[in-house]
Structure 1
């Protein structure tokens, strides 16, 4: 999964690279439908993907290339 680019992810989810970039930079909140697609793609829950529960979780997530 480390070779995944923003373009690849966007294509797989049916959105633009700019949308993926904006989500990563926390400048855009995805629709519920897109949030579910992202969570399904990465095999996690929406909560795991978007909700920070502890101080350790506050570090910036690793961005997709």
Structure 2
């Protein structure tokens, strides 16, 4: 996940999850549901693709 300008707690509060969930997203330890990904993208006024990307497995 790549976004700036908001604390983990503020983002968590806006999208309805815990700060620990945001921390896990940032560390790539958790894959968000589509609904959560959409809420995060809407919060930052970006597309999902601008915030999240699929890691290619090789």
Q: Could you tell me the TM-score, scaled by structure 2's length?
A: 0.79
The residue number in structure 2 matching 1:18 is 20
**Shift >2 Å, 4+ stretches:** none
Q: Could you list the runs of 5+ residues in structure 2 that have no partner in the other structure? A: none
Select the residue among 7, 10, 24 that pairs with 1:8: 10
Q: Deviations over 1:21-46 (max 9, x none)?
A: 00011100000000000111111111
Select the residue among 18, 31, 34 that pairs with 1:32: 34
| Aligned partner of residue 51 in structure 1, secondary structure | coil
| Aligned partner of residue 20 in structure 1, secondary structure | helix
Q: Tell me the matched-pair count.
A: 51
Bigger radius of gyration, 1 or 2? 1
Structure-1 separation of matches of 2:11 and 2:20: 11
Residues 1:46 and 2:30 aligned together: no
Q: Could you list the runs of 5+ residues in structure 1 that have no partner in the other structure? A: 53-65
